[in-house]
A and B are shown apart, each in its own frame.
Chain A
Amino acid sequence: MSEIRINILKAELNEQALLRGLAQNDSQAVEALYKSHFPVIQHFVENNNGSFDDARDIFQEAMIALYEKVQLDSFVLTCQIKTYLFSICKHLWLKRLQQMGKYSNPLSSEEESVSVQEDLEVMEKKDAAFAIMDRALNSLGEPCKSLLEGYYLNKKGMQELANQFGYTNADNAKNQKYKCLMRLKKLFFTQYNIGD
């Protein structure tokens, strides 16, 4: 095998490793992705009417898209990470510019991009569901909100939560959790339509 070929293979393996790391919330992988890909996006956004903060927000959204994509069993990435992140960012930024009512003649950049339309649609649906859940959780009030967050977000056990919230035993905490969950469900489903 030629040296070039080996290097390509190494790069591919490296990308695969990064994506596996990302799927498992590995902090080194996340950091590596930021380090190697954020500057390109920063450059792109700042050269197209945006600020450093805009670049940060856009890149964060693209990272979420990639993160949620690698979670899927059906996950395949048909291009380089760099190209994928850039394509997502480009679309998101274009959309943001349009929302702000700025003229957006073809955005200037020499970066390669791929079609990410499908992924963006999936993302939009998830964004909507996320917002509904967020609103529902925030309108629950305490202790429901913290109790459910403790259980579902921070993956704490019922006993630990009982101690934290001062319930006399895990069963009581559990009972409370179910009551809260029912309220959350109701709030969520009044806005979220199955089959939509």
Chain B
Amino acid sequence: MEDIQLLEAIEKYLSGEMSAQERSNFEALRKKTSEIDQMVVEHTLFLQQIEWYAQRKNFNQQSQNTFNKLLAEGEWTANDEQSTQFKIIQLWSKYKKVTAIAASVGGFIALFTSFLVMYLSPSLNGTQLMQLSKAVEVIKKNQQVQGHILNDVKTKIPENAKLISGGSGFLIDIKGFIITNAHVLKGNSAIVINSKGQELKANIVYADITSDIALLEIKDEDFKQPKSIPYTIRKKISDLGEEIFTLGYPRNDNDIVYGKGYLSALTGFNGDSGTYQIQIGANPGNSGAPIFNNQAELIGIISTRQRQTEGVAFAVKASKIIDVIESLKEKESTKDIAIKLPKSSVISNSARKAQLDRIKDYMYSIRSFN
């Protein structure tokens, strides 16, 4: 109670609410008692802090309101339109060259890709498991565009090629080596598409159907080697219940999609020790997508999901990647491939948003064709 009275006195003193008499009494007390003097100094500082806090908080609100008002009045382009605009620019720059040629030549082919029903591999336990690759059908159509602009929308996929399958993949070596599922590569050739929508040609280096792991190598002059890869591959087995996340390209528009879940069993379908069972929303196209733990260590690759049970999927263990890479050294045709796996994770302590931001540039959408 005494403290409160003292505090009240100090506040009165500091705000100038004391009478002249009270004031001189208080000042005498201050001089005599160093504790009180200290409290006055401390409280002055504290009130100053509250005042700054209040000022900033109020101004922050005012400033936000102003921004929102101007946004509502159409002073600036809002976020959504911004990103659409951005996408159009991206598409334009992607096809700019071709369009320019096309405009002068006057040729036109519009390529429609539509993703149809999921492909069901006969080698798989068909009724219970579903591979998550995308089956693709390409319809080529000649399209007469009215007026003066003729478009030729072309990809790096050869003109007469037939898209067979697709999925996701991720970089494991800055030289351009990508890991994906073997079942994603049902065609004999492949291209990969980075998160910016840029297409790059790639060779299928190796595909192991047993472990469902495949290795691609980007072979394209447009490929810019990154300086490093932000995540590492975890060799040790992960813990049950560990939180996991993934980034992949399950959608037809090729936008990258984030998913979150947990490790639900240390073995996969029917006790398969090469895979984990995970609880995550996996869709066709997620095949080959990496599974990371919270430290952004790669712990597996999404490959299949159980047909009947929504959300249950299986992931090939990351140690299998290392096995596959080791086995390459023993084969005559692949012994010269020296793969350097990323050594350290620079984002292990980052917030999820920052991790995703960093990781997404190393994630690829994969198309396989004949």
Contact = CB atoms under 8 A, between A and B. Distances in A.
B75 A35 contact: yes
Contacts of A52: 76-79, 82
Interface in B40-71: 42-43, 45-46, 49-60, 62-64, 66-67, 69-70
Contact of A178 (B4, B52, B357): B4
**Would you list the 4 A-B pairs with minimal beta carbon distance, nearest first?**
A133-B53, A153-B54, A178-B4, A52-B82
Given A27-B66, A39-B76, A103-B227, A71 B354 contact: no
B46 A25 contact: no
Interface string A113-152: 0000000000000100110011001000000000000001
A137 B57 CA distance: 12
A192 B54 contact: no
Contact of B62 (A30, A51, A126): A30
B255 interface: no
B226 to A, nearest CB: 9
Contacts of B66: 27, 30-31, 34
B8 interface: yes
Given A38-B76, A182-B7, A152 B358 contact: no
B347 interface: yes
B357 to A, nearest CB: 5
B57 A153 contact: yes
A53 B346 CA distance: 25
5 contacts: A35-B75, A38-B76, A101-B346, A101-B358, A102-B357
A95 interface: no
A102 B357 CA distance: 9
Interface residues of A, number: 44
B261 interface: no
Interface of B: 3-4, 7-8, 42-43, 45-46, 49-60, 62-64, 66-67, 69-70, 75-79, 82-83, 227, 230, 346-347, 350, 354, 357-358
Given A30-B63, A67-B63, 4 more contacts: A38-B76, A51-B83, A64-B56, A152-B53
A158 to B, nearest CB: 12
Given A27-B62, A52-B82, A53-B79, A192 B49 contact: yes
Given A38-B76, A101-B354, A179-B4, A130 B52 contact: yes
A60 B54 CA distance: 16
A62 B206 CA distance: 52
A194 B76 contact: no
Contacts of B79: 51-53
Contact of B230 (A35, A46, A60, A101): A101
Nearest to B46: A185
Nearest to B59: A67
Contact of A133 (B42, B49, B230): B49
A64 B358 contact: no
Interface in A24-50: 25, 27, 30-31, 34-35, 38-39, 42, 46
A74 interface: no
A100 B82 CA distance: 22
Contacts of B4: 175, 178-179, 182
Contacts of A53: 79
A15 interface: no
B54 to A, nearest CB: 4
Contacts of A167: none
Residue in A31, A42, A137, A174 with the greatest tally of chain B CB atoms within 10 Å: A31
Contacts of A182: 3-4, 7
A99 interface: yes
B23 to A, nearest CB: 20
Centre residue among A100, A102, A129 by max chain B CB count within 10 A = A100
